[in-house]
Amino acid sequence: MVTCAPTSKALWEQMSNLYGQESNLGRIFEIKRQIADIKKEEKIISQLFGDYEDLWNEYNTLRPITTDLKVLRQQREEDMIFGLLMSLEESYAPLRQEILRMKNFPPYQEVRAMIQRTAASMRLEASQSKGHVFTIDLEEQKANKVQEAKNICGYCKKPNHTKEKCWRLHPHLRPDHLKKKDQSSHNSAKIATLEIAINDISKLLKEVKTSLNDQGSQNEQGDW
């Protein structure tokens, strides 16, 4: 912020000493942005007025009123560029700073072309980055498939183990809790088989008994 000066000439000399060694475009841009973004927040209203008017005083010092048509046309084009730069996202900050450090702005159309080239470059970098990630994913998937192929058992043809650790080929390698589960299932199967056999035998005995009874009845009828 510029300190108070007794005369406009003194204020101009302060501004010249402060910005005279480099372009004023960056400071003009910052003043415009501060004016657009100024808010009361926690300030008392008189402080808001003071900050707002200080910004305009500094702005008028950097860009004094003129009737020169050439200067007016230049300032109008500068204002177009200021507005365009303010609208850019923060990802364009390096380009914005590069343009604002220039002693004089290039024509508006050239600034627009610079932004378009930067946007294209950013899109290319983003696509290359995505392509790199996609390539890594494919390589990982390929590696996983190779690893899975290596882990397929040569005996039972099932995945996630080798022939040397196959439970079917080496039953003693089967965990105890699975052995107990298998034994229980085996016993249940035996019981079920036995029950079926008993039922079959019972049916067979009934059929034999019935057959014998029928035969006895026929013999008795023959005696009569």
Cβ-contact 64, 10 below 8 angstroms: no
Q: What is the pLDDT of residues 49-93, one digit of tens each?
A: 888 899 999 999 998 988 999 999 999 999 999 999 999 999 999
Q: What is the pLDDT of residues 184-213, one digit of tens each?
A: 665 566 666 766 777 777 777 777 777 766
Q: What is the pLDDT of residues 126-166, one digit of tens each?
A: 777 665 555 556 666 665 665 556 667 777 777 777 767 77
Smallest CA-to-CA distance from 75 within 85, 86, 64, 88 is with: 64
Residues in the chain: 224
Quote the DSSP letter at residue 166: -
- Helix (H/G/I), strand (E/B), else coil: 128: helix
Tell me the two tokens of residue 172: 């003693």
CA 92 distance to own-chain centroid: 21
Q: Where are the domains of the chain?
A: 8-125
